Amino acid sequence: MLKVIMEYLSKKVVCFGGGTGLPAVLSGLKQNPWLELSAIVNMFDSGGSSGELRDRFGILPPGDVLKCLLALSKHEQGAREILLKRIENKKYSGHTGGNVLLLGFEKVFGNHADAIDALGQLLSIQGKVIPVTHEQSTLCAEYQDGTIYKSETNVDDGIKEGKVLRRLFLEPEVMASKEALESIHSADVICIGPGSFYTSIMSNFLPKKIKKTIAKSKAKIIFISNLLTESVGMKDYCTDKFITIVEKYIGRKVDIVIFNKSLPNKDVLNRYALEHKYPVIIGKNSKSDSRFIFADLWTDSNIARHDSLKLANLISGLISQKNK
């Protein structure tokens, strides 16, 4: 009987996402000791510290990896204090300690998979952080006006300029990492989102074999809708559209959609409106869609972020449901 309960509770969960969204999911889910977590992380970051280190040293960008490692750490608070601090040095200005550390470990161990593994050991992480690919590539977007923008930050800029994205692609095409494919293959649950929709989330489905492996997977797929749309080029995106796009990129139906139903006060929304970010709207089809779960998920602050614990407990509850 105990064995049955354990099998029933114990699930392999694979999470896709980015920025601050994915760490929020992980930070909550790691508190459920029954789950075996894998975070599959985007390797196409081109902005900030991470992008500069990538350009300068030809390494894979460490930023999102670091955030996920911290989120999964048993010593999260202490580790954040140390590893998110920026180093001042005459040659390297303003890089976070953790990024430089991953760079240093990559130099010591000779490859980034071992570097990530070593830092994961030091941080006593609850789960795994898996690069979606071990190869270098640049994220590119073709917009409806026919223009093509290259690199993650430029792709985002295109959307900010009001361009509507038609096609997202990698240059060059790269193969997914073996570990990413294995974790998808054996997953009981796949969580998608939150995070920058195209650059952090959809980009993960581009390396070869990812889409096919998800399409074949028997995992329950949970899509966690963002709280807000992202700038001008996505202003008319409603849940219908988000779900259609996700399903196109993963080649399979989503089983559950988690949608935030509560909004903060007008001042906060007005502030985001200045950046052309608006609450995601329920589409016509979504209204009668039985896959939707509506919950109060906006964190108790003025920042557009999912409440990590509420989200994690909701996901845990959904995971242990017998029927999809």
Residue 91 in contact with its own copies, rule: CB under 8 A: yes
Residues 97-116 that bind its own copies (CB under 8 A): 97, 100-101, 103-110, 114
Buried b (16+ CB within 10 A) or exposed e, 29-38: bbebeebbbb
Residue count (the chain): 324
Find, among 208, 217, 216, 209, the residue nearest to 189 by Cα.
217
Output the DSSP codes for 251-293. TS--SEEEEE-----HHHHHHHHHTT--BPBPPTTGGG-TTEE
Half-sphere exposure of 83 (CA within 13 A, CB side): 26
CB of 78 to its own copies, least distance (A): 2
Distance of CA 124 to the CA centre of its chain: 21
Which residue matches tokens 């080029």? 233
CB of 33 to its own copies, least distance (A): 19
Contacts of range 215-219, beta carbons closer than 8 Å, 24 or more positions apart: 215/250, 215/251, 215/252, 216/185, 217/184, 217/185, 217/187, 217/190, 217/252, 219/14, 219/184, 219/187, 219/188, 219/189, 219/190
Site string for its own copies, 123-142 (x = CB under 8 A): xx------------------
CA distances from 322 to 9, 51, 87, 255, 319 (A): 10, 43, 49, 13, 8
Report the DSSP pairing between strands 138-143 and 165-171.
Answer: antiparallel
Residue 281 in contact with its own copies, rule: CB under 8 A: no
Residue 79 in contact with its own copies, rule: CB under 8 A: yes
CB of 62 to its own copies, least distance (A): 12
Half-sphere exposure of 263 (CA within 13 A, CB side): 14
Q: Which is nearer to its own copies, 82 or 273 (CB)?
A: 82
Residue 55 in contact with its own copies, rule: CB under 8 A: no
Find, among 324, 310, 318, 319, the residue nearest to 25 by Cα.
310
Site size toward its own copies, by CB under 8 A? 31
- Report whether 300 contacts 307 (CB < 8 A): yes
CB of 102 to its own copies, least distance (A): 9
Residue 94 in contact with its own copies, rule: CB under 8 A: no
Residue 78 in contact with its own copies, rule: CB under 8 A: yes
CB of 151 to its own copies, least distance (A): 24
Of 118-126, 177-185, 210-218, 264-272, the window that binds its own copies (rule: CB under 8 A) is 118-126
Backbone angles phi, psi at 145, to 5 degrees: -85, 5
The residue from 31, 89, 186, 301 that contacts its own copies (CB under 8 A) is 89
CB of 74 to its own copies, least distance (A): 8
Residue 216 in contact with its own copies, rule: CB under 8 A: no
Q: Which is nearer to its own copies, 91 or 218 (CB)?
A: 91
Residue 178 in contact with its own copies, rule: CB under 8 A: no
Residue 77 in contact with its own copies, rule: CB under 8 A: yes
Q: Which is nearer to its own copies, 79 or 155 (CB)?
A: 79
Q: Which is nearer to its own copies, 84 or 164 (CB)?
A: 84
CB of 87 to its own copies, least distance (A): 5
By CB under 8 A, name the binding residues for its own copies: 75, 77-79, 81-83, 85, 87-89, 91-92, 97, 100-101, 103-110, 114, 117-118, 121-124
